[in-house]
Homo-oligomer: A and B are copies of this chain.
Amino acid sequence: MGEKWLAACDIGGTSIKMAFLTADGDIIRKWSIPTDRTDSGAHIVSHISRSFYNELDSEGLTTANVSAVGVGAPGPADPVTGTISGAVNIGWANGYPLKKLLEEELELPVFVENDANCAALGEMWRGAGNGTGDVVCVTLGTGVGGGVVSKGMIITGVNGAAGEIGHITVMPENGLLCNCGKRGCLETVASATGIVNLYKMEGKDAPDARTVFERAAEGDEAGKRVIDRCAFYLGLAIGNIANVMNPAKVVVGGGVSEAGDAILIPLERYVRQFTFPRAMDVLSIEKAKLGNDAGVIGAAYLAKVMTV
């Protein structure tokens, strides 16, 4: 084997996606293991390291063939210490020392980052952001995640809470209560759950966002208003991020983005309405390209640039 590999993993609530990649971000091999949430997630680190060792063994390799490890975690990462907070869904206490524990197990440099930030780095490097280091990613899933990349590096902020795009306030008055404790967050109106919320505010009910999109496509007026309203709030948030960051691309991913033009066309119109003209001149909106691989590819990028 010539060039050293990058190792990456993306820790989610039900599974941990793992991969080895080349220094250029090509996936050599990927697999996943279940997330063991027992004992407050105390076994996760040893499961990750054992799985990396096993895969290396099966190739006749050792950690000497790996340059560094990048990890995406489901909570804000402290940019200095590499501890994780707010990863309640896998059981970790605030300030969980993920970087330190994994470095002890693997005897390799480990770099950790919030999973949404890793996905943003992945799309910037090998996905829809291709060719620019100034990218904002918005993931519209059950919640709304985000990551902001400037000059090729993630904006982490002082305590890892930068890029909380889902918690941009878009309804400053009479907003719905969000899980974070605030009201009127983007997540309450632009996630899959949020779209159902907006449909309820029209006095109607739907089991999921997909149904709202289907009904809108069939001519349901309430459904059409909900899609337009969702695009309005999303366009307001993205426009205001563009007024602050002046990125080249905004990459939209996650389940809701699968609706395609039904959401992207009105979104583009609203982004234009809310973005400073000079910033709009250079901005394009793209659909995410990497799907579930964005996290490991971005984690590998992090490991690569941090060890240069």
Contacts and interface: CB of A to CB of B under 8 A. Distances in A.
Contacts of A253: none
A53 interface: no
Contact of A282 (B158, B243, B244): B158
A159 B244 contact: no
Interface residues of A, number: 46
A279 interface: yes
B157 A245 contact: yes
Given A169-B239, A236-B172, A157 B277 contact: no
B159 A86 contact: no
A134 interface: yes
Interface string A171-200: 010000000111000000000000000000
A278 B85 contact: yes
Contacts of A243: 161, 164-165, 167-169
Contacts of A148: 244-245
Nearest to A94: B278
Interface in A266-284: 273-279, 281-282
7 contacts: A158-B248, A159-B246, A161-B282, A162-B246, A168-B240, A169-B240, A169-B274
A158 B241 contact: no
- Chain A, interface SS category: loop
Contacts of A85: 278
A134 B157 contact: yes
B86 A172 contact: no
Interface string A133-173: 01000000000000010100001111111111101110010
B278 A169 contact: no
A50 to B, nearest CB: 32
A157 B279 contact: yes
A67 interface: no
Interface of A: 76, 85-86, 132, 134, 148, 150, 155-165, 167-169, 172, 180-182, 232, 236-237, 239-241, 243-248, 273-279, 281-282
B248 A161 contact: no
Nearest to A184: B274
A88 B281 CA distance: 19
A134 B150 contact: no
A148 B243 CA distance: 11
A161 B86 contact: no
A277 B180 contact: yes
Contacts of A236: 169, 172
Contacts of A273: 182
